[in-house]
């Protein structure tokens, strides 16, 4: 549940070497060299045989001469029968490089919505903060499944999985909190975390608390606002691109569909009343991963394997966005 609510593959380019005209010329040179060596040798053997009176016509067996290699055999020798780099102009193959890190040098901030301990700190989270367009509560407790699995527990677990995935791709990942706070942080501080990090992308993870009959996920995009401390005009476009990639990847890896109760099932909603978006100066979206009050969605939230798939969806969506910005 988002803030303020009452108590949800282009593969890397191939590095295979494809032989071209230079390789063809190399093969011609190899055939010429072999002929130049073998013909004189064969002729010398024939002279030696003649000198001892040998002749096929005389009823004696003729010497067996080594046949010249065919062009296909030349290619086979070059490819696997002997090392290259043997004086014919070809370079010696080098060992493959280190694992590809497409997000090296990129910074991502992941914001696990709410905090499992917020319920113990009502006074602190109920104080209001300025979000530019209005004032709102510092934070809320979030929602939970019917079985009592808290949204804050889910978002923290998912954030850690996403961090692992993005770090494997080379990104620097920062969480707004990592289970190490008594409460919060407040929504304005969550936005500031992305700004201070100079993040290339920021994603706030949530789960909705809609009526039990509704299910599905959606992404919330920042509305264009310019009021008080809020100015999202520069990030509306890139945030929309980030949201689009997240919708596509999250659907692909989880098999879930966008919520029909939001924006007609398009998977996106645009809002100007969320401090986490209003105060951001970097591309940022909220991802509502589903509806915690819906039994089928709740089955996913409480399944570790589903959370792995959800984390993969978030990771891939962020990666597609960042690689597209290069």
β-partners of residue 137 are 128
Q: How many angstroms separate the CA atoms of 170 and 163, rounded?
A: 11
Please tell me whether residues 133 and 242 are part of one structural domain: yes
Please tell me whether residues 111 and 201 are part of one structural domain: yes
Q: How many angstroms separate the CA atoms of 86 and 91, rounded?
A: 9
The reply to whether 184 falls in a domain is yes
Please tell me whether residues 38 and 132 are part of one structural domain: no
Write down the mean pLDDT value for the chain: 80
Q: How many angstroms separate the CA atoms of 184 and 203, rounded?
A: 17
The reply to whether 5 falls in a domain is no
Tell me which residue of 290, 295, 305 sits closest to 161, measured CA to CA. 305
Out of 82-86, 193-197, 307-311, least confident range: 82-86
Please tell me whether residues 70 and 131 are part of one structural domain: no
Please tell me whether residues 192 and 278 are part of one structural domain: yes
The answer to whether 276 and 133 are in contact (CB under 8 A) is: no
The answer to whether 217 and 262 are in contact (CB under 8 A) is: no
The answer to whether 184 and 111 are in contact (CB under 8 A) is: no
β-partners of residue 109 are 174, 202
C-alpha angle with apex 169: 239 to 164, nearest 5 degrees? Answer: 90
User: Please, what's the b/e burial string for 136-173 (b: 16 or more CB within 10 A of its CB; e: otherwise)?
Assistant: bbbbbbbbbbeeeebbbbbbbbbbbbbbebbeebebbb
pLDDT in tens, 180-221: 999 999 999 999 999 999 999 999 999 999 999 999 999 999
Please tell me whether residues 122 and 263 are part of one structural domain: yes
For residue 214, the domain's CATH number is 3.40.630.40
Q: How many angstroms separate the CA atoms of 259 and 247, rounded?
A: 11
> What is the pTM (predicted TM-score) of this model?
0.72
SS3 assignment, position 310? helix
Active site positions, annotated: 288
Domain of 188? 107-324
Q: Which residues contact 281 (CB under 8 A, 6 or more apart)?
A: 194, 195, 231, 234, 235
Q: How many angstroms separate the CA atoms of 90 and 84, rounded?
A: 6
Residue 96 has pLDDT above 70, yes or no: no
Tell me which residue of 183, 187, 197 sits closest to 282, measured CA to CA. 197
Please tell me whether residues 53 and 112 are part of one structural domain: no
Please tell me whether residues 114 and 160 are part of one structural domain: yes
Please tell me whether residues 56 and 197 are part of one structural domain: no
- Is residue 300 reached through a cis peptide bond, with omega within 30 degrees of 0 on the bond before it? no
74 versus 115: the higher-pLDDT residue is 115
Out of 5-9, 152-156, 188-192, least confident range: 5-9
pLDDT in tens, 159-178: 999 999 999 999 999 999 99
pLDDT recorded at residue 53: 39
C-alpha 272: how far from chain center: 29
Domain count across the chain: 2
63 versus 171: the higher-pLDDT residue is 171
What are the angstrom distances between the C-alpha of 322 and each of 128, 169, 280? Answer: 34, 11, 18
Q: How many angstroms separate the CA atoms of 235 and 201, rounded?
A: 10
């Amino acid at each position: 549940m988002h803030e303020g609510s009452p108590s949800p593959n282009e593969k890397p380019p191939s590095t295979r070497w494809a032989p071209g005209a230079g390789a063809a010329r190399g093969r011609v040179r190899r055939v010429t060299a072999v002929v130049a060596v073998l013909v004189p040798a064969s002729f010398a053997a024939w002279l030696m045989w003649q000198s001892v009176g040998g002749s096929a016509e005389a009823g004696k067996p003729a010497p067996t001469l080594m046949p010249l290699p065919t062009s296909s055999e030349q290619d086979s020798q070059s490819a696997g029968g002997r090392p290259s780099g043997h004086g014919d102009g070809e370079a010696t193959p080098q060992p493959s490089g280190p694992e590809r890190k497409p997000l090296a040098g990129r910074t991502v901030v992941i914001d696990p919505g709410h905090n499992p301990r917020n319920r113990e700190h009502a006074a602190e989270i109920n104080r209001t903060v300025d979000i530019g367009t209005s004032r709102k509560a510092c934070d809320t407790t979030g929602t939970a499944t019917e079985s009592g699995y808290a949204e804050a527990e889910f978002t923290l677990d998912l954030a850690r999985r996403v961090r692992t995935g993005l770090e494997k791709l080379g990104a620097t990942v920062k969480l707004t909190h990592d289970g190490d706070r008594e409460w919060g942080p407040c929504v304005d501080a969550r936005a500031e975390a992305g700004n201070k990090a100079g993040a290339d992308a920021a994603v706030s993870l949530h789960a909705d608390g809609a009526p039990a009959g509704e299910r599905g996920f959606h992404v919330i995009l920042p509305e264009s606002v310019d009021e008080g401390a809020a100015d999202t005009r520069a990030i509306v476009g890139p945030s929309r691109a980030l949201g689009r990639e997240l919708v596509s990847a999250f659907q692909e890896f989880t098999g879930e569909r966008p919520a029909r109760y939001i924006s007609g099932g398009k998977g996106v909603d645009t809002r100007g009343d969320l401090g986490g978006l209003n105060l951001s100066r970097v591309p940022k979206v909220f991802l509502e991963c589903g509806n915690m009050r819906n039994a089928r969605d709740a089955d996913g939230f409480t399944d570790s394997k589903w959370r792995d798939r959800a984390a993969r969806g978030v990771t891939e969506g962020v990666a597609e966005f960042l690689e597209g910005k290069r």
